[in-house]
Each structure stands twice: as C-alpha cells, then as structure tokens.
Amino acid sequence: MKVISYNLRKHRAAGELAHLVELHGADVLCLQEYDTSDIPEHIGGLRLAEATQRNRLGLAVYYRENLYRAVEVRSLALKKSLHDRVLKPAEERLLGVRLHDIDENRDVIVASFHAAPLTALNSLRRHQIRAALDELATLGDGLPALMVGDYNYPVFKEKLSEKVRAHGYELSLSDARTYTRYRFFRGHYDFATSYGFRIDGITTLPQGLSDHLPILVSASVSMDAAAPAA
C-alpha cells in the first residue's frame, strides 16, 4: 500500500493532488486543511471515501477502488486547545476509514490526522494521538491500522515514540523534514503511527504550494505484533 499524506495549507496545494497520485502510484490519499465544501469524487483515479463535515478546512481520505472497498468511516472531534476554542479552526481532527482489500480479502484501517497547532502543549497533542488511536480500534479491533498526517510535533519526538509504543503502535518519520515555513520551526511534522503494518519507507516529496511537504508512506501488512494496549 502506498499512502500520500499532505497538509494543503488552507487548500492552496489542492491542484497538485492528481499529479502526485499519478506520479507516485498512490493507493490512498490522506489530506489535511482541505476545503471540504467543494471537493471532487475522484482524484487521479482515487475515489473519495469521506470528508469531515463540521469544519470548512478539514480532512479527506481517497482510495483506489479497484484495490479497496470502503466498509466504514469514523470521524472524531478531539480534545480542544485554547487556540481551537477561541479561533475554532477545526472541529474534527481525525478521519478513519476501514478498507477491504479486495485481492487479499482482509480489512485494514487508514486514517488522516491533524493535531492541534504549536500554540498547544505537547501533552495535549499526545492526548489527541492516544484518543485517535483508541477511536480507530473501534473500526475493527486488532485490524492493521495506519494513521498519517500533520502531528505538529517537531521536538521531543523520542518521548512521543515511547508513549505510542507503550500503546501498541510504532511511530515512523520520513527521510527528510516536512515543514519549512519558519526558520525556527522547521523539522518533521508529518509522519505515521501504525499497528500491524511493516513500514517499508517514508519519503518526503518535493515542496509545492504548501508550507508542508507531502510524504509518501510505503507499507505492507505484517500481523506479527501484539494487539494494541487498551
């Protein structure tokens, strides 16, 4: 499975999506800061599974329908930061989709995630990540799960990795930084957490119109891991 995750910076990079999908042969597309008021049913041969409804700049997941079939969708509003309460930039910060792999006759879970901005504490973002992973488990207990997106977590990732691992998941970074807008905040913002997947590689793709660089996650099911912690 090839998954592209991209924070579009208030929809500015939306015009790049079809080219990215076709160029890299993506099977799944996970988007953040996507204008969900007017989005196409198909992008580069991928079909829309679902988009969030309660915020204009939200999340969306597309999938290749000759390989997968969307079984169930779940969105979630996570614990809010002060920034969220005052400016209300986003209501739903998780969009998970249970996909049926037609060839392999098994189900997997893929999700687009967007954590609270840097004005919030890392502790809040860790709470959001944990809650998001718990919610994904309700789509299918023990199923392979891959959550990609903008984690807004440029420093102290080692602590986050420990927390995620204690929850039964693995944290994976890309091969190069994914955010370049501000000099003192450059670094890895966009990455993946997974259970039951072997992450074969995460590549940071060239920068487009967004301040985030898209990432390409190559993953395959590997169900040797223990079930996620409750």
User: pLDDT (tens digit, 9 = 90+) per residue, 54-109?
Assistant: 877 899 999 999 999 999 999 988 655 444 544 455 568 999 999 999 999 999 99
Tally the C-alpha atoms within 13 A of residue 95's C-alpha that lie toward its C-beta.
Answer: 29
Domain ranges of the chain: 2-221
Of 21, 49, 15, 63, the closest CA to residue 35 belongs to 15
What is the value of pTM for the model shown? Answer: 0.92
Question: Taking 50 as the threshold, does the pLDDT of residue 223 lie above it?
Answer: yes
Residue 85: its pLDDT value, please?
46
Q: What is the mean pLDDT of the chain?
A: 90
Domain made up of 2-221: CATH architecture: 4-Layer Sandwich (3.60)
Task: Identify the weakest region by mean pLDDT among 100-109, 177-186, 191-200.
Answer: 177-186
183 vs 106: CA distance, rounded Å: 44
Question: Taking 60 as the threshold, does the pLDDT of residue 179 lie above it?
Answer: yes
Number of neighbouring beta carbons within 10 Å of residue 90: 24
Strands (E), 77-213: 94-101, 106-114, 145-150, 170-172, 190-195, 197-204
Q: What are phi and psi of 121, to 5 degrees?
A: -80, 150
